[in-house]
Amino acid sequence: MNRRGTAPAWFQGDTQRGIIVKTSELSEFDLYLFHQGTNYHAYEMLGAHFVERDGKKGVRFAVWAPHAKSISVVGDFNEWDTRVNPMTRGRDGEIWEVFIPDIEEGAVYKYAIEPQWGGPRIMKADPYGFYAEKKPNTASRVYDLSKYEWKDGDWFEQKKKESSYERPMLTYEVHAGSWRRTKDGEYLSYRDLADQLIDYVKKMNYTHIEFMPLCEHPFDGSWGYQITGYYAVTSRFGTPDDFRYLVDKAHENGIAIIMDWVPGHFCKDEQGLRHFDGQTLYESDNEQLAENWEWGTTNFDYGRTEVQSFLISNAMFWFEEFHIDGLRIDAVANMLYLNYGRKDGEWTPNKYGDTGNLEAMDFLKKLNESIFKYHPQALMIAEESTAWPLISKPVYMGGMGFNYKWNMGWMNDMLKYMSLDPIYRKWNHDKVTFSFMYAFSENFVLPLSHDEVVHGKCSLISKMPGDYWQKFAGLRTFFAYWIAHPGKKLLFMGGELGQFIEWNYDDSLDWHLPQQYPMHKKMLEYSRALNKFYCDHKALWQVDFDWNGFQWIDCNDNENSIVSFIRKAEDPSDYLVAVCNFTPEVRHGYRIGVPEKGSYIEVFNSDDEAFGGSGVKNEGEIKTEDVKWHDRDQSIVLTIPPMATIYLRHKGQLAAGRNSFDEAPAELEVRGHEEKSSADKAEAAEAKPKKTVRKRTAAKKAETSAEAPKEKPKRRGRPRMTEEEKAAAKAKREAEKAAKAEKAPKKTTRRRSAAKTTAKKTTRKTTKKTASKTAKAAAAES
């Protein structure tokens, strides 16, 4: 192996040649690039390929095994006899090859490797194999990747015209083996998922699907993170072409596909990469570097150039052969830190006496630069759990070269905050606001991933404190805050419907919940409506990575556990106001400063009765007042629903129609129902475009009468004024202030009588019929 960057003696080719053509022979140029760590399509050279040689059709097998004494290809075509098809060592002395005629697609094979030190032969699957046997069998299968005809040309043409930074990214994370099962408890195939999953994701208004690892792996309990076949999409769910069909179908429906990729460590099973030719090869000679004691796996040797070719080619393989749109790189911290998950004495500092893995750093930069050179629109997302700087900055700026990074700090802070009883949240208010100390230091994705709903951590809804109603209210509030927070979004399957039990990799999600329990159905409808609202409003995603897209209104109201802020699109006049109340108390007469004079409309409310909320809302136009508040000349007075997030927009924006990224008007009347009644549809068809108040029709009342208690007549009353507001009012002209105050009550609607606005009643614990019904539902679920 030559690491100095000079051509070896056996190489006689042209190093400047830019196009590599696959032939029946291994070219010297391909071999040279492979050993230099710059062959980014090594899968076209190594592995099993259908070729024609001397007029005969067959398969060329090639494998890198420099320490082997001899190698044979064995399989069902030669009755696993090591004497029949021996391989010959290539001119570089490290790659072995053989041509075997008349082998059919699907043939099962392995490499029988005789180590230099003698002993029994080692039976290995093909590191570059495109397909594998179903578990528990472990051999590779010959597969022809040249037959599939792609239909997603329009998708890629459209991608060239846009930047992912300025587009909505609402990712649905999926474990293919447990999203849904058949009635018999069997896996859905890739083609089943193409029909069922894609349809569901589209209806739920997600923009991306991120699959947990789909490379071949022997143990279901590893969730796919302990891989033996990096180039083989797992056969559990079908063939490589079946998976291509799934990707094609996603693109046809405007949905991008992200793959969870694991270049940090690999499985120790005997058919895999560990001690591949009888000695360390893909792993380091240094046991401290090679062993991953925390996960029981083996780390890659990033300093070995052939390993670089293997891994970068593998990333390229998924983009080019399977048309995926992005990779989420697992456990980047494990790659970057020599002491990650290790005790003192289990690691050695680098040459500078530091903890950084210099070879891994160089590899990641090389990986990202290579991918973006060939695929400029690719998504390269780092799961990096530390404060390592500049992860998502370009290499030329001193960064690691990814274009996105998971925000693990935000996730940990917010999940801890949301698990607190609302009584104690006022003393932990910084967990809501601290993320803005670093929110724009990276291009962040806000993940609510699979790691947070397993191993005793509870499901998302189970993390929420309080009774049955409050748990759903808390989750709705959290989701709406998450959507409004700067950064792209990711949610693990099951969170959208409020699944109570933790995720189980060996079982389906609880799809019966929204079918049998009204609150789960409404939670699913809420997720769908919130997702649509996100996609339809540029202010929530067009400027995610700098302060131009965000501005605080009030981040200091820890006493009430309320935050309010503004999200803005590239056009600063296109903005949205978000107010988040993290307690189950209604806040009447709550004043906030706003950017401009005029009227504001409440366009989304997580406390809407259609979503299982209490129905406290601000109806009609909320007119500004010339009362300075929060360092702004104009302010409005709101009724803040209990445990809820509301979004407001200026009336002038609604008239201008600044909403959708698809140039289609947003549906401002958010219902959240998956299927509207015919009466609802007729009403929507006759509604005026500017209508924003979500008043229920007679049909709607009939639809919900079985679940919701009868409402008492609406009553309008004067909002309570805070001491701070009173002090400000005294400084104003008393007569003018008194006259304006008389009009203020007409700007908010209070759906409860004065007696029902107390803390005891607004928590809806036991006094309403709906609460008793949902309590019974909770008991039934348990």
Lowest mean pLDDT among 181-185, 572-576, 687-691: 687-691
CA distance linking residue 364 with residue 384, whole number of Å: 12
Quick check: 470 pLDDT over 60? yes
CATH architecture of 547-675+688-697+716-753: Sandwich (2.60)
Q: Which helix (H) or strand (E) holds 415?
A: helix 408-418
pLDDT digits (tens, 9 = 90+) for 219-254: 999 999 999 999 999 999 999 999 999 999 999 999
Quick check: 514 pLDDT over 70? yes
CA distance linking residue 464 with residue 367, whole number of Å: 40
Task: Please count the CA atoms within 13 angstroms of the CA of 348 that sit on its side-chain side.
Answer: 8
What does the pLDDT average to over 256-278?
97
Percent over 90 (pLDDT), the chain: 77
Lowest mean pLDDT among 451-455, 501-505, 665-669: 665-669
Catalytic residues: 330, 383
Going by pLDDT thresholds of 50, 70 and 90, the confidence category of residue 695 is: very low
CA distance linking residue 506 with residue 17, whole number of Å: 50
Same fold, 28-141 and 547-675+688-697+716-753: yes
**Are the C-beta atoms of residues 37 and 305 closer than 8 Å to each other?**
yes
Pick the more confident residue, 640 or 727: 640
pLDDT digits (tens, 9 = 90+) for 327-386: 999 999 999 999 998 888 889 999 999 999 999 999 999 999 999 999 999 999 999 999
What is the model's pLDDT at position 781? 53
pLDDT digits (tens, 9 = 90+) for 397-456: 999 999 999 999 999 999 999 999 999 999 999 999 999 999 999 999 999 999 999 999
Region of 617 on the Ramachandran plot (φ > 0 left; ψ -120 to 50 alpha; else beta):
beta
Going by pLDDT thresholds of 50, 70 and 90, the confidence category of residue 662 is: very low
What is the model's pLDDT at position 281? 97
What does the pLDDT average to over 152-163?
93
pLDDT digits (tens, 9 = 90+) for 600-638: 999 999 999 999 999 999 999 999 999 999 999 999 999
Is the alpha carbon torsion for 211, 254, 410, 360 positive or negative?
positive
What is the model's pLDDT at position 420? 98
CA distance linking residue 97 with residue 115, whole number of Å: 17
Quick check: 20 pLDDT over 50? no
Quick check: 709 pLDDT over 50? no
Angle of helix 190-203 relative to helix 240-252, nearest 10 degrees? 20
What is the model's pLDDT at position 725? 47
Domain ranges of the chain: 28-141, 547-675+688-697+716-753
Pick the more confident residue, 128 or 761: 128
CA distance linking residue 536 with residue 84, whole number of Å: 64
Length of the chain measured in residues: 782
pLDDT digits (tens, 9 = 90+) for 525-577: 999 999 999 999 999 999 999 999 999 999 999 999 999 999 999 999 999 99
28-141 has which CATH code?
A: 2.60.40.10
Q: Is the pTM of this model over 0.75?
A: yes
**Are the C-beta atoms of residues 388 and 333 closer than 8 Å to each other?**
yes
Lowest mean pLDDT among 54-68, 156-170, 712-726: 712-726
**Are the C-beta atoms of residues 270 and 222 closer than 8 Å to each other?**
no
What is the model's pLDDT at position 731? 52
What is the model's pLDDT at position 704? 39
Going by pLDDT thresholds of 50, 70 and 90, the confidence category of residue 659 is: low
Quick check: 680 pLDDT over 50? no
